[in-house]
Structure 1
């Protein structure tokens, strides 16, 4: 952390996306603003250049790690499956995130993850994903309607029940929470060392904590969306920021 900046520095994984005619390493404004405004940290973008150097060196200079959502899917080969559809993949981000998760565990670095990031942590710790939740009997529709406005897409979609005595229940002081739902994939089997923190009404795991970390929280929903208007989501970023400051 810079001596002239009291804010912790938090690494943010980059997606690699084509903005024709070039590839760009990028992260969404909504995540960066939520980190700066609600967590009170300085976000630092981490490029997905694992072919050039070990990404773990990033974390030696950082106080926390944030794994964003994304429009690409974790490649199924990472949990020993083949793709069932033809979605967008980002193998460079996969490599970056999995290396950073491993390095954060080694360093006990505060980690907060949302949506794709939530799925990455599960896969990194040996879990598996449903590639298409809408094709799984007994599960509700978790995708957003892309024909709607962003405000409508990110509106609360369902409740999640919080695990008794879990981190979320302690932070939020409640037993349930209304969340948005904008995901195609979700947890099939939970990774090693992860403890369930919240479930959707259909039983799908929607949040977990990483037991090996002093602060390690991952949620399937998007807590960053208009975070200043959602006190409970704001609290999650505050808790992450506090962990980074500690």
Structure 2
């Protein structure tokens, strides 16, 4: 059987250098990616899984917030990715959200964001680096903990926004030391996890590769009409 095909959304500005890293992780996990950018065709019916990649900020127009002057927006990308997430969940296609993608997963499911996350979570250390310097605590009894374990992880950080109110069927899977949400996950099929960091840059770490492997396994299960995740357990707090 051919490798599961994963649609990967990227920024028009930086996707040319990010997509190869995502593709590497997918190859290591047994999948294959196809790059999607706003303004070009992107059909969820043609793939087995979906990755919403990092990059631009999400417009507060999508969740009724007020624009801050520092935001860097791409409304066309916002529209494409929101559509893709909604279609993926309708068609039982598994989703992985990376940084912006975690935020888009939350917004597409009816949640909202902190636009100035570090202004709200003043105890969270503000890193801006692809190096694994930020400490993240994975919550027990979550899907993410089944993949990575519950030992604290050191990850990179390239974000100014973060999840505020959770979207439907989502729960918190990780927080940083200041309490800011660092990962969210869906409670039922299809599989969907969003992480606030960039695991594609950390391909040398087996716990980060396990996130991509879980997506590819869910895509394979969907292709074979099998359950992607087990029945929901007690939600983590």
TM-score > 0.5 by shorter chain: yes
For residues 243 and 137 of structure 1, do their structure 2 counterparts lie closer, same or farther at Cα, with a shift above 3 Å needed? closer
For residues 96 and 107 of structure 1, do their structure 2 counterparts lie closer, same or farther at Cα, with a shift above 3 Å needed? same
CA contact (8 A) 2:124 2:180 kept: no
Match of 2:31 among 29, 34, 41: 41
User: Equivalents in 2 of 1:224, 1:243: separation in Å?
Assistant: 18
CA contact (8 A) 2:125 2:178 kept: no
Considering only aligned residues, what root-mean-square deviation do their CA atoms show, in Å?
2.2
CA contact (8 A) 1:105 1:212 kept: no
User: Equivalents in 2 of 1:208, 1:240: separation in Å?
Assistant: 14
Cα offset for 1:133? 2.1
Match of 1:233 among 208, 217, 232: 208
User: Equivalents in 2 of 1:213, 1:172: separation in Å?
Assistant: 20
Instruction: Return 156-165 or 108-117, whichever deviates more.
Output: 156-165
User: Equivalents in 1 of 2:132, 2:17: separation in Å?
Assistant: 27
User: Equivalents in 1 of 2:155, 2:103: separation in Å?
Assistant: 17
Instruction: Return 201-210 or 133-142, whichever deviates more.
Output: 133-142
Structure 1 unpaired stretches of 5+: 19-23, 145-152
For residues 192 and 34 of structure 1, do their structure 2 counterparts lie closer, same or farther at Cα, with a shift above 3 Å needed? same
Cα offset for 1:220? 0.3
User: Equivalents in 1 of 2:150, 2:139: separation in Å?
Assistant: 10
Match of 2:92 in 1: 108
Match of 2:106 in 1: 122
Q: Choose 1 or 2 for highest CA Rg.
A: 1
SS in structure 2 at match of 1:6: coil
Match of 1:59 in 2: 44
User: Equivalents in 2 of 1:15, 1:92: separation in Å?
Assistant: 11
CA contact (8 A) 2:171 2:184 kept: yes
**How many aligned positions are there?**
221
User: Equivalents in 2 of 1:96, 1:25: separation in Å?
Assistant: 18
Give TM-score, length-normalised by structure 1: 0.82
CA contact (8 A) 2:173 2:185 kept: yes
Match of 2:6 in 1: 10
Give TM-score, length-normalised by structure 2: 0.85
